[in-house]
A and B are shown apart, each in its own frame.
Chain A
Amino acid sequence: MKTIAYIVQKEFKQIFRNKGMLPIIFILPILQLVILSNAATYEVKNIKFAYIDSDHTSTSRELVEKFNASTYFNVLADFDSHDQASSAMLAGDVDVILEIPNNFERHLLKEKKASLSLIINAIDGAAAGVESGYVNQIVQNYNQNIKTELMDASQKAVQPVSIVSIPSFWYNVTLDYKTFMVPGILVLLVTMITLFLSGMNIVREKEIGTLEQMNVTPIRKSQFIIGKLFPFWIIGMGLLTIGLILAKVIFNIPMVGSLLLLYGYTSIYILVVLGMGLFISNFTDTQQQAMFISWFFVVIFILMSGLFTPIESMPKWAQIITEFNPVKYFVEIVRMVLLKGSGPLDILPQVLKTLLYAIVMNGLAVWSYKKVS
């Protein structure tokens, strides 16, 4: 126990004395959280919007005015002809073209019904869907009697295909993506920083030759490993704390569930990450190698964690792989506990899997750490 205390003490001194490392530990995560949370958004904004007004009535102008007023649309141009609008779309100048037909106002007044046609650049299918929804919403807010019809780009001259507007779409408008992303990015920073730091730390001792010196002392393997990893466990928990504070103060993320539960889970989760760091450092000789391998795994873990893209939409084989991804469990848990207020029983499956992962990973790491070659 005393030996471990000496090692922990030494590690903390070294970490806080390392001028290059401190910013990595404390400034980077803050930047990451603030910048990424704002940038990693699925919200479709600043849509490049153009229209063709063949009606030229007060009704049509009023409708266009609605788009002008919306924060989601940048009304860029008003085209005289279909051809003009198409070439602008081809050039990438506009993404959404709304065509207001002749006699729009008259139809609306007489038949209580009128149609609009809508052309959307659908290279990014998800964005196109959202844009279509926004247009529908604005139009319907304006007048319940107008129906938009989506034009298929390949046969724009032919019959407009009518689409059904989805009333529930408005969730997307009010849903704050930051509420969804910030907890996920919190996971990302806790994982990355602890993995990189722990992986590189032991390799660093290999590089400067002090690891050999340690191996010649009577320090037991377990003492050395615990003493080495414990400081990073603390740092990981500290990062979680900083992240949670920022999430509350800057982004006002709702924290419905028990923070104690979240901390409890994180304390197990970090063990997995530290075990991984140690395992990597056992098989590498330089900090660059360790960094490269850690990076490789972090990228895979993050892309397959459901942080950015839903796991349900991945192919079956990829979904099976995600079962071995600890980051996935942490992302799930943070969102469940913070946003939904899930209790211990709800997250039990993830907790057990993470615990198993921690045991296996640390077992492997301790087994592969050799004092004797």
Chain B
Amino acid sequence: MKTENVIEAKALTKKFGDFTAVNKISFEIKKGEIFGFLGANGAGKTTAMKMLIGISKPTSGQANVAGFDVYTQTENIKKNIGYMSQKFALYDDLTVRENITFFGGIYGLSRKRIKEKTQQLVSELGLEEIKHQLVGSLPLGWKQKLSFSVSLLHEPRIVFLDEPTGGVDPITRRQFWEMIYKAADRGTTIFVTTHYMDEAEYCDRVSIMVEGKIEALDTPKELKKQFKVDSMNDVFLRLARNIE
């Protein structure tokens, strides 16, 4: 049985004036997949992601996210996705609980559901002691984990993570990836951009963007075979160097 595609992009393009930030990228992502979206700084990852989450209109091409069109049905897309941006995006001046309540509330969860979710989330992340602390006072790693959990609050079909582990220590990164796996096991599709090549190894499939184009797309294993190298790091360097 063929699993359904939750994201489909066909020749998706974004131009800013003469500059083509994203140049005809195409891919399909299946339900429950962890899709690594790699690329150097400025390769167009964030721009591509913004088109998929409905906050940037594509210049041309097509894309469907969770079955909705990125041109006309962005509000439907937004109901079905979670997003965690590069910048930390919870409110620093609200407490852990208040943040959960707020985001739960704006996604339309009932009071009762919010309470349950808060309880569950707080105990899962071990935040019992500090649930009344302002988020701004938490260490970065905790914030990131909390932020990820909040993006899953409304049980979206797809979660977009934009460099979620930037600046986080290795232990927290590992815990973070355990959380990602857990979410994927429950059937949530994960779309993640990263700079860490070891993280790329954790992904089911990986695409590598260079100067607005997708230059490689396959499982980490296949990519390594294809480029005849031992690590994703080498795959990345090989691709980036070819361009230079």
Q: Is B108 an interface residue (CB 8 A)?
A: yes
A15: nearest residue on chain B (CB-CB)? B93
Q: In whole Å, how far is A90's beta carbon from the nearest beta carbon of chain B?
A: 61
| Beyond A7-B102, A17-B93, A216-B53, 18 additional pairs, beta carbon < 8 A | A6-B106, A7-B106, A9-B102, A10-B91, A10-B98, A14-B91, A14-B93, A209-B89, A213-B85, A213-B89, A216-B55, A216-B78, A216-B81, A217-B78, A218-B107, A218-B108, A220-B75, A372-B74
Q: Is A371 an interface residue (CB 8 A)?
A: yes
Q: By the criterion CB–CB under 8 Å, are B83 and A213 in contact?
A: yes
- 3 nearest CB pairs, A to B: A209-B87, A6-B105, A213-B89
Chain B interface, >50% SS class: loop
With a CB–CB cut-off of 8 A, which chain A residues contact B103? 217
Q: Is B115 an interface residue (CB 8 A)?
A: no
Binary contact track A335-373/B, C-beta < 8 Å → 1, others 0: 000000000000000000000000000000000000111
Q: In whole Å, how far is A217's beta carbon from the nearest beta carbon of chain B?
A: 5
In the bound complex, CA of A92 to CA of B107 (Å): 71
Q: Is A57 an interface residue (CB 8 A)?
A: no
Q: Which residues of B contact A (CB under 8 A)?
A: 50, 53-57, 74-75, 78-79, 81, 83, 85-94, 98, 101-103, 105-108, 134
In the bound complex, CA of A6 to CA of B94 (Å): 13
In the bound complex, CA of A215 to CA of B160 (Å): 14
- Contact flag A208-B74 (CB < 8 Å), given A2-B108, A216-B55, A216-B83: no
- Contact flag A212-B102 (CB < 8 Å), given A2-B108, A3-B108, A10-B91: no
With a CB–CB cut-off of 8 A, which chain B residues contact A6? 101-102, 105-106
Q: Is A70 an interface residue (CB 8 A)?
A: no
Contact among A13, A14, A373 with B57 in the assembled complex (CB-CB below 8 Å): A373
In the bound complex, CA of A165 to CA of B92 (Å): 68
Q: In whole Å, how far is A29's beta carbon from the nearest beta carbon of chain B?
A: 23
Query: Interface range on chain A: under 10, 10 to 19, 20 to 34, or 35 or more?
Result: 20 to 34
With a CB–CB cut-off of 8 A, which chain A residues contact B107? 217-218
Q: By the criterion CB–CB under 8 Å, are A219 and B56 in contact?
A: no
With a CB–CB cut-off of 8 A, which chain A residues contact B83? 213, 216
Q: Which residues of A contact B (CB under 8 A)?
A: 2-3, 5-7, 9-10, 13-14, 17-18, 208-210, 212-213, 215-220, 371-373
Q: By the criterion CB–CB under 8 Å, are B57 and A372 in contact?
A: yes
- Contact flag A14-B94 (CB < 8 Å), given A209-B87, A218-B75, A373-B55: yes
Q: By the criterion CB–CB under 8 Å, are B74 and A210 in contact?
A: no
A-B pairs with beta carbons under 8 A, tally: 75
B89: nearest residue on chain A (CB-CB)? A213
In the bound complex, CA of A371 to CA of B81 (Å): 16
In the bound complex, CA of A219 to CA of B108 (Å): 9
With a CB–CB cut-off of 8 A, which chain B residues contact A215? 55
Q: By the criterion CB–CB under 8 Å, are A209 and B88 in contact?
A: yes
In the bound complex, CA of A212 to CA of B106 (Å): 14
In the bound complex, CA of A135 to CA of B78 (Å): 76
In the bound complex, CA of A2 to CA of B110 (Å): 10
In the bound complex, CA of A10 to CA of B83 (Å): 20
A221: nearest residue on chain B (CB-CB)? B75
A214: nearest residue on chain B (CB-CB)? B106
- Contact flag A212-B91 (CB < 8 Å), given A2-B108, A372-B57: no
With a CB–CB cut-off of 8 A, which chain B residues contact A212? 55, 85, 87, 89
Contact among B55, B89, B98 with A371 in the assembled complex (CB-CB below 8 Å): B55
**14 interchain pairs, CB-CB under 8 A:** A10-B94, A13-B93, A17-B93, A208-B87, A210-B89, A210-B90, A212-B55, A212-B87, A218-B75, A218-B79, A218-B106, A220-B75, A371-B74, A373-B56
Q: By the criterion CB–CB under 8 Å, are B53 and A208 in contact?
A: no
With a CB–CB cut-off of 8 A, which chain B residues contact A13? 93-94, 98
- Contact flag A210-B91 (CB < 8 Å), given A2-B105, A2-B108, A217-B106: yes
With a CB–CB cut-off of 8 A, which chain A residues contact B87? 208-209, 212
With a CB–CB cut-off of 8 A, which chain B residues contact A7? 102, 106
In the bound complex, CA of A219 to CA of B56 (Å): 16
Q: In whole Å, how far is B215's beta carbon from the nearest beta carbon of chain A?
A: 26
With a CB–CB cut-off of 8 A, which chain B residues contact A218? 75, 78-79, 106-108
Contact among A18, A208, A372 with B54 in the assembled complex (CB-CB below 8 Å): A372
A3: nearest residue on chain B (CB-CB)? B106
B95: nearest residue on chain A (CB-CB)? A13
Contact among B56, B85, B98, B102 with A209 in the assembled complex (CB-CB below 8 Å): B85
Q: In whole Å, how far is B165's beta carbon from the nearest beta carbon of chain A?
A: 17
In the bound complex, CA of A162 to CA of B55 (Å): 77
B103: nearest residue on chain A (CB-CB)? A217
In the bound complex, CA of A220 to CA of B101 (Å): 18
Q: In whole Å, how far is A62's beta carbon from the nearest beta carbon of chain B?
A: 71
